[in-house]
């Protein structure tokens, strides 16, 4: 089973300041580094017959069933979230390759969320590119032309001070280094051309999301989940969940998000749409929109609709209960 990537937000151990995805109103706390996609533009004689989204704290699975009337080729694009270069090694790991990988990270993008695609059950080989971003500006070529690696291994010495003095001066002057730390982010973009034969084709996409930990929560005062609070609006928190939280306010809170890259035009609408969210354990809780989702099992919730194009970022707020051993060690929590 894949392991979730964790980024702490709001506390002394925060690794990065995280911007919530568009449409999120979670009171300034992180709503997840959101992957975005897949993006595609269907020709007039193709349609999305079925679209499904399965969400858990450590995995997201997207399923599409496309219907084609004739043989077609469609271009797909999937954008991983921009990750800080000094992020957790679990989020960006170079597998001991260090600068060599960092200098080739534009042509051989790092798959730091374990993205995989299967077409009718067969795995698909992905290609793409990586890029360095600094305050919204693409600085990939600037760095590589100066022989500066886009990434480096955190277990090794940072390479910046071994660079020529002229290169160091350029990095400092452009604000790309702050206290000897890279101030740019790394982002991988994966793309593929999919050939469709007449009839139905199933495309399944999986990846491990980055979860943001909500630190520094005062259990006695938690305005984000109060009626009308920002988290209440963003995640459709109801009174029952709010009461359950305050009865035993020892949960760990995490958010994950996915940003939809909606297809252009009317051909992208799904005739049948299904959302399934799994909270992982019966003792956990989860909040997400739409509020009309219904509980279907001990840990799962589901919402279905017809003729839907998801066009807003999806986010889920997980309330993870401490395990039994932890409760026995800390009976007052």
Question: What integer pLDDT is reported at residue 163 of this predicted model?
Answer: 85
Rounded to 5°, angle at Cα 295 from 294 and 296 = 110
Can you give the pLDDT at residue 151?
87
Residue 193's pLDDT is 95
pLDDT at 14 (0 to 100): 23
Share of the chain above pLDDT 90, in %: 58
At 6-48, the pLDDT tens digits run 543 322 222 222 233 333 444 456 666 899 999 998 998 999 9
Q: Tell me: the pLDDT tens digits for 236-287?
A: 999 999 999 998 888 999 999 999 876 544 456 889 999 999 999 999 999 9
pLDDT at 293 over 70: yes
Pairing between β-strand 177-178 and β-strand 181-182 as defined by DSSP bridges? antiparallel
- 46-56/270-278 β-pairing: parallel
Give 179-220 pLDDT, tens digit per residue.
778 899 999 999 999 999 999 999 999 999 999 988 878 777
Confidence (pLDDT) at 330: 45
pLDDT the model gives residue 152:
80
The helix (H) or strand (E) run that includes residue 327 is helix 324-329
Q: Give me the pLDDT at residue 248, please.
A: 85
Of 196, 235, 225, 89, the residue nearest 152 (C-alpha): 89
Handedness of CA 267, 201, 190, 234 (dihedral sign): positive
In degrees and rounded to multiples of 5, residue 99 shows phi and psi of: -60, -30
CA–CA distance, 306 with 118 (Å, rounded to integer):
25
pLDDT tens profile 70-126:
999 999 999 999 988 877 655 665 555 556 778 899 999 999 999 999 999 999 999
Could you tell me which residue, 208 or 333, shows the higher pLDDT?
Answer: 208
In the chain, the percentage of residues whose pLDDT exceeds 70 is 80
Q: Is the pLDDT of residue 131 over 90?
A: yes
Residue 41 to residues 3, 47, 184, Cα–Cα distance (Å): 32, 10, 31
State residue 236's pLDDT score: 95
Q: Each residue of 137-188: pLDDT tens digit?
A: 999 999 999 999 898 876 667 777 788 889 988 998 999 988 778 899 999 9
328 pLDDT higher than 90: no
């Amino acid at each position: 089973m894949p392991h979730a990537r964790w980024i702490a937000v709001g506390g002394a151990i925060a690794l990065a300041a995280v911007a919530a995805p568009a449409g999120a109103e979670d009171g300034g706390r992180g709503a997840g580094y959101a992957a975005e996609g897949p993006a595609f533009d269907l020709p007039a004689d193709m349609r999305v017959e079925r679209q499904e989204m399965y969400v858990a704290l450590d995995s997201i699975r997207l399923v599409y069933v496309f219907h084609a009337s004739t043989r077609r080729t469609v271009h797909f694009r999937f954008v991983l979230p921009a990750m800080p270069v000094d992020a957790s090694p679990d989020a960006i790991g170079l597998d001991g390759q260090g600068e060599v990988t960092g200098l080739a990270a534009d042509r051989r993008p790092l798959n730091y969320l374990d993205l995989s695609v299967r077409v009718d059950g067969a795995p698909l080989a992905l290609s793409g590119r990586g890029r360095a971003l600094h305050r919204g500006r693409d600085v990939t070529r600037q760095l590589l032309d100066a022989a500066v690696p886009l990434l480096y291994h955190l277990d090794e010495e940072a390479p910046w001070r071994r660079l020529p003095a002229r290169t160091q001066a350029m990095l400092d002057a452009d604000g790309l280094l702050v206290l000897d730390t890279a101030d740019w982010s790394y982002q991988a973009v994966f793309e593929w051309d999919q050939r469709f034969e007449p009839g139905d084709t199933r495309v399944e996409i999986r990846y491990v999301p980055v979860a943001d930990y909500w630190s520094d929560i005062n259990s006695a005062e938690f305005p984000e989940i109060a009626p009308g609070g920002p988290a209440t609006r963003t995640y459709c928190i109801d009174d029952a969940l709010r009461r359950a939280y305050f009865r035993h306010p020892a949960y760990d809170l995490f958010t994950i998000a996915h940003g939809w890259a909606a297809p252009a035009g009317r051909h992208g609408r799904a005739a049948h749409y299904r959302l399934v969210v799994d909270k992982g354990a019966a003792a956990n809780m989860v909040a997400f929109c739409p509020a009309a989702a219904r509980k279907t099992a001990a840990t799962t919730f589901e919402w279905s609709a017809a003729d839907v194009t998801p066009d807003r970022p999806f986010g889920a707020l997980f309330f993870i209960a401490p395990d039994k051993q932890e409760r026995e060690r800390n009976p007052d929590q």
